[in-house]
Amino acid sequence: MIEGEKRKLLVVAHRGSSGSAPENTMAAFRMAIDEGVDMIELDVRMTRDFELVVYHDADLRRTTNGSGFIWEKTLDELKHLDAGSWYSPKFADERIPTLREVIDLLPANINLNIEIKSDGDVRRGIAFEDACIRVIREKGFAHRVLVSSFDHKFLRRFHKLDPAIRIGALYLPVRDAAKKPSTLERRLGASAFICSRTQLRKRFIADAHQHDIMVACYVVNTVRQLERMIRFGVDAVVTDFPRRIVRALNER
């Protein structure tokens, strides 16, 4: 488990409080903090000048007023884009944050799940891994972070470079159907298994807990979905609506 958990079931804010503010923005992260989450989940990509920014898609069109791919842009170019108006005009001042900026925002009682997004970026080697480790170590955040990805080759390289930083394997059914959480742990060094609520199976949880692996499930947005996760015995729920989930847990 990541240090600092406040309850048996961790509440993780999916891209911040993304149901109530533009995803992966400082506004969404501030809201999630105010709503009492245990952890914030965000997506990280690498810019043309090897800076780490918090952004989900490869392309800029969906959630900014820009176009093109993240890896084609410098940090300075990205910082001039509007990353909030797509959600609501009142968020027009929101910009794409850097990973460093988000880490600096987090109070001591809230941990971080960094999901690495490498799809589409043709750069290979260990530049992305090195950049991520450098920021985590520079900020003294190694004990408060979980680095996760669908890119298991990235996770394997990352773990070899810095085995002390926890990693989480995101489950992809077509590729991972025959693999148990403990198999992924053995191959990657993962201490967490992460899947969607529709992919969750009791056998995953049984195997994971037998091998001391954390199980996190996304996206859990209703009380009914939460109750199912509790019955299954998951360790963390990832939600777009942290306030709703925190309140439901506090009322139990």
Q: Tell me phi and psi for residue 106, to 5 degrees.
A: -75, 130
Say whether pLDDT at 119 is over 90: yes
Q: What is the pTM of this model?
A: 0.95
Tell me which residue of 108, 96, 110, 100 sits closest to 40, measured CA to CA: 110
| pLDDT at position 8 | 82
Q: Catalytic residue numbers?
A: 14, 56
Q: Tokens in use for 82? A: 């509007």
| pLDDT at position 58 | 98
Superfamily of domain 10-250, CATH level 4 = Phosphatidylinositol (PI) phosphodiesterase (3.20.20.190)
pLDDT in tens, 49-76: 999 999 999 999 999 999 999 999 999 9
Gap between the Cα atoms of 113 and 210, Å rounded: 23
Q: Where are the domains of the chain?
A: 10-250
Helices 152-161 and 181-188 cross at an angle (nearest 10°) of: 50
Residues 6+ apart with CB under 8 A from 166: 2, 145, 146, 147, 191, 192
Residue 6: band (very low, low, confident or very high) from pLDDT cuts 50, 70, 90: very low
Residue 125: band (very low, low, confident or very high) from pLDDT cuts 50, 70, 90: confident
Gap between the Cα atoms of 111 and 133, Å rounded: 16
| pLDDT at position 4 | 43
Gap between the Cα atoms of 56 and 248, Å rounded: 28
Average pLDDT score over residue span 94-110: 98
Mean confidence (pLDDT) of the chain:
95
pLDDT in tens, 195-236: 999 999 999 999 999 999 999 999 999 999 999 999 999 999
Say whether pLDDT at 31 is over 80: yes
Q: Helices (H), strands (E): how many in the chain? A: 10, 9
Helices 242-250 and 223-232 cross at an angle (nearest 10°) of: 60
Residues 6+ apart with CB under 8 A from 218: 12, 14, 41, 194, 195, 196, 197, 237, 238, 239
| pLDDT at position 229 | 97
CA angle 101, 104, 105 (to 5 degrees): 90
